Amino acid sequence: MRWSNHLAQLCVCASVLLVPFAAQAASEDDPWESVNRPIYQFNDFVDTYALKPIAQGYDYVTPQFLEDGIHNMFRNVGDVTNLFNNVLQAKPHAAGVDTARILLNTTFGVAGFFDVGTKMGLQRSDEDFGQTLGHWGVGSGPYVMLPLLGPSTLRDAPSKVVDSYTGPYPYINDIPVRNSVFGLNIVDTRASLLSAEKLINGDKYIFIRNAYLQNREFKVKDGHVVDDF
C-alpha cells in the first residue's frame, strides 16, 4: 500500500469532515479556529514527545556535512515538484532552471548530495500545486490545521495529494525502503526547523498561523506583495 499518499489523503479528509463542527469565526482568516486549535494541540503533543526528540538526536549524532548532504538530496527530489508546477504556471525560465538543477545535481552532485546548481547560480524554486492554483486566481480559503501535516488552507490541503504524485514514494515498490526514506525525510525536515523555533513568540498557534498565511501569500505572488495601509 502506498501509505504515504494515503496519509496525506486521510489527513486532508479528516480536516474537511471536521469543518461542519466548527464554531463561529474567530478571525477572518481562521473561521474554523475552534477545530484547528485542538488539531494543533494534538500535533504539538506528537512533536514535543516524539518527533522533536528524534530530530534533536539525529541532529546531534549526524555530522554536519552528512546532514547537509541528505537535506540536499531531498531538495533535489523536491525540484521535480518545482518543475511540474512551474510548467503548470507557464514559467518557462523557472522550469528551465529547475531542469538544469535536477540534471546537474543528480549527476555532478552525486544524486543531489552536493548542491552544484546553486553554486553555479541556479537558484532553487519553491513551488507546489497550491501555489499553482493561487497563480491562476484560486483563493486560499480559510486556514486549516491538518492532523500531523500541519498548517494549510482549504485550497492548499487537497493540493498536497496532487504534489504527492510528483514525489518518489508512489514509485518505490519496496515497502521497507519506501518507509525508511519517508521517515528520514520527516526527521530531516524537522531537524532543519529546530533553529527556527527560537523565533516563535507569544501564542504559538497564532504565530504559526500568521507566519504560514503571510508566507503563502508571498510565494503565490512571487514576492510581489503590496501592504494595505
User: Would residue 225 count as lying in a domain?
Assistant: no
* pLDDT, mean of residues 122-147: 97
Q: How far apart are CA 190 and CA 43, in angstroms?
A: 13
Answer whether residue 37 shows pLDDT above 60.
Answer: yes
The span from the first CA to the last CA of the chain, in angstroms, equals 51
User: Would residue 46 count as lying in a domain?
Assistant: yes
Q: Which of 167, 182, 156, 151 is nearest to 3 (CA)?
A: 182
The model's pLDDT over 207-221, given as tens digits with 9 standing for 90+, comes to: 999 999 999 999 999
| Residues whose CB is less than 8 angstroms from the CB of residue 148 and which lie 6 or more positions away in sequence, other chains included | 7, 11, 43, 46
User: Would residue 113 count as lying in a domain?
Assistant: yes
CB 125 within 8 A of CB 78: no
CB 204 within 8 A of CB 44: yes
* pLDDT, mean of residues 61-74: 97
In which band, very low, low, confident or very high, does the pLDDT at 6 lie, cut at 50, 70 and 90? very low
Average pLDDT, the chain: 89
User: Would residue 92 count as lying in a domain?
Assistant: yes
User: Would residue 227 count as lying in a domain?
Assistant: no
What letter would DSSP give residue 20?
G
Number of structural domains the chain divides into: 1
| Cross-strand pairs, 143 | 153
- Domain of residue 133: give its range: 3-220
In which band, very low, low, confident or very high, does the pLDDT at 130 lie, cut at 50, 70 and 90? very high
pTM of this structure: 0.84
Burial of 104 (0-12, 13-18, 19+ CB in 10 A): buried
User: Would residue 226 count as lying in a domain?
Assistant: no
User: Would residue 55 count as lying in a domain?
Assistant: yes
User: Would residue 85 count as lying in a domain?
Assistant: yes
Other beta carbons within 10 angstroms of residue 155's beta carbon come to 20
At residue 61, the 3 state secondary structure works out as: helix
Grid cell listed for 225? 506583495
